[in-house]
Amino acid sequence: MPHQWSDEDKRTFKTAALAEVNSHILEAAQESSAVTGDWEFFCECGQPDCRELVTLSLPEYASLRERGEPVLAPSHRLPPGTRLPMLIDAAQELLVQAKRRARQTHTGPA
Ligand SMILES: [Zn+2]
């Protein structure tokens, strides 16, 4: 039986994945000639139905990242008490656990 992710886990993954995508947008933006313009980043609230884009200049995005804050559309929020770096760490930890569990399922207990 495959591991079932809770809704909270899925939300954590989505936020972490979008934060990663946004960091690639930053890289692409830095390599392009339009460094001074505004760019569209993904809202990182992690809600399953959220497809909002947030327009930010590169300095605005960079300053959010420096403070460890997520990119959020107006009125979108992370779950209370959570911080973006925590969610990224949590997503990585969930993946590690899932891989460990998958390995045990395939090979049986050591
Ligand atoms: Zn959102």
Tens-digit pLDDT profile for residues 14-48 = 999 999 999 999 998 888 766 678 999 999 999 99
For ligand 1, a single-atom ion, the residues with CB < 5 A are: 43, 45, 50, 52, 73, 76
Residue 100 CA to ligand 1 centre (angstroms): 31
pLDDT (tens digit, 9 = 90+) per residue, 45-81? 999 999 999 999 999 999 999 999 999 999 999 988 8
In this structure, what token pair is assigned to residue 13? 């993954």
Residue 5 pLDDT grade (very low, low, confident, very high; cuts 50, 70, 90)? confident
Cα 17 to Cα 36, 38, 42, 102: the distances in Å are 25, 22, 10, 21
Cα of 96 to ligand 1 centre, how many Å? 26
CA distance 50 to 10: 13
> Mapping DSSP to helix (H, G, I), strand (E, B) and coil, where does residue 77 land?
coil
Distance 46 CA to ligand 1 centre (A): 6
* All structural domains of the chain with their residue ranges: 7-104
Q: What is residue 1's predicted lDDT score, i.e. its pLDDT?
A: 45
Q: What pTM was computed for the model?
A: 0.83
Q: Give Cβ neighbours of residue 50 (< 8 Å, ≥ 6 apart).
A: 43, 73, 76
